[in-house]
Amino acid sequence: MIAPRVAVLGLLEPLLYAVGSAAAAPGRQVEVWCPPASTETLRRSARLARTHAAPIEPGVTPDPLVMRSMAAEWQAAGIDVVIPADYHATVALAQLSADDGLEQVRSFPLPAPSTILECNDKWWLAGLCGRLGLDIPATRRLETMDDVVAATTLGRVVVKPPSEGFGAGVRILDDAGDLVDHVTDTDREANALPLLVQEYLPGIDVDVTVLADHGEIVADVVQFRDGGELRFVDDDRCVELVRPIVEATGFHGVMDFDLRLDRRADRLAVIECNPRLPGSLINKQFVGLDLLDLGVRLAMGEAVERPARPTGVTRSPQLGDLRSMLSSAWWDEENRGVRAAWRHAVTDPVWRLTSRASG
């Protein structure tokens, strides 16, 4: 059973809701610390009514003094474990834990702050994959216009900032001229040097998320997008590709990997790593893997048995499902994730309507 009192710290409202509502399973007491502007919206959720305004800003790593002040609040509130909902909260909480600033409160499993920063750096990851002999697209770092010109020999490329997440600043460019135009276009966002370019690999995106205990994988899940659905599969090859990265970094906590699968060439390659909880955390819970429960057990010093890798599909509820509910196929095991998504939506209707109305 997850610890009875959990705090969720985050700066980005959608992730706060995803992580907070995943933690707020029946019997779990969850409180949220977030920027003041998010409190009113999050309190409309039946699951996140206990929401606290903190002196933090979206997209900005909280100040160490602010973190220590919140730690005192967590201790006074009887919080057992604090869970970071996004990258900046993850970095700040890892630093607070490393500085022994949590006192009686425990942190969700996190590595050293330096490990988080390294894994989030796509250029550093490319170097690590090269040393480990793992397949990764040809990658170059662009620091000068000479680097840009040299990279035009790669042909079709993906260009991205070195350390951003959630696809920020990512562009697919078809040829050399497009790369030069992208870097020199002053009207474009997130195109300032330094940048990374990778050769473009045709195929599909595959997501692998692991929970690691000091370099040992204790839970994993593999998914890819199939139209409007997320499809979860039992695929050892994907997990074995990322295992050397987990072991080499001694990672402690959740790592979310982006892979690319080209079935025609039978090529599976690492694209990047996100050293934090994934945005699709709640979807993984829908198909039967509760990473938060497992992580909090680790934080509380409990033994964790490796769960089965989940399979099935999930997606956002649709009106067409109302007709499907009358068929026997609706109750197939593969659709348990879709049914769980429906239960999640109908038990928190005010939040769902509010979030849709606000865009």
List pLDDT tens digits, range 181-212.
888 887 777 778 889 889 899 999 999 999 99
Q: b/e string for 249-271 if b means 16 or more Cβ within 10 A?
A: bebbbbbbbebbbeeeeeebbbb
For residue 358, name the pLDDT band (cuts at 50, 70, 90).
Answer: very low
Residue 176's pLDDT is 64
Average pLDDT score, the chain: 90
Whole-number Å distance between alpha carbons of 140 and 123: 8
Distances in whole angstroms, Cα of residue 298 to Cα of each of 4, 29, 211, 294: 14, 18, 10, 6
Instruction: Indicate left, alpha or beta for 163 from its phi (over 0: left) and psi (-120 to 50: alpha).
Output: alpha
Q: Which residue has the tokens 């995106």?
A: 205
pLDDT above 60 (res 359): no
Average pLDDT value for residue range 30-45: 93
Whole-number Å distance between alpha carbons of 122 and 24: 33
Whole-number Å distance between alpha carbons of 272 and 253: 17
- Domains defined along the chain, listed by start: 5-108 (3.40.50.20), 138-199 (3.30.1490), 204-351 (3.30.470.20)
pLDDT above 80 (res 166): no
Residue 9's pLDDT is 98
The letter for the amino acid at 209 is T
List pLDDT tens digits, range 19-31.
999 998 766 789 9
Helix axes 122-132, 236-249, angle to 10 degrees: 100
Q: Three-state DSSP class for 50?
A: coil
Angle 35-39-41 (CA atoms, 0-180°, nearest 5)? 125
pTM to 2 decimals? 0.91
List pLDDT tens digits, range 245-298.
999 999 999 999 999 999 888 999 999 999 999 999 999 999 999 999 999 999
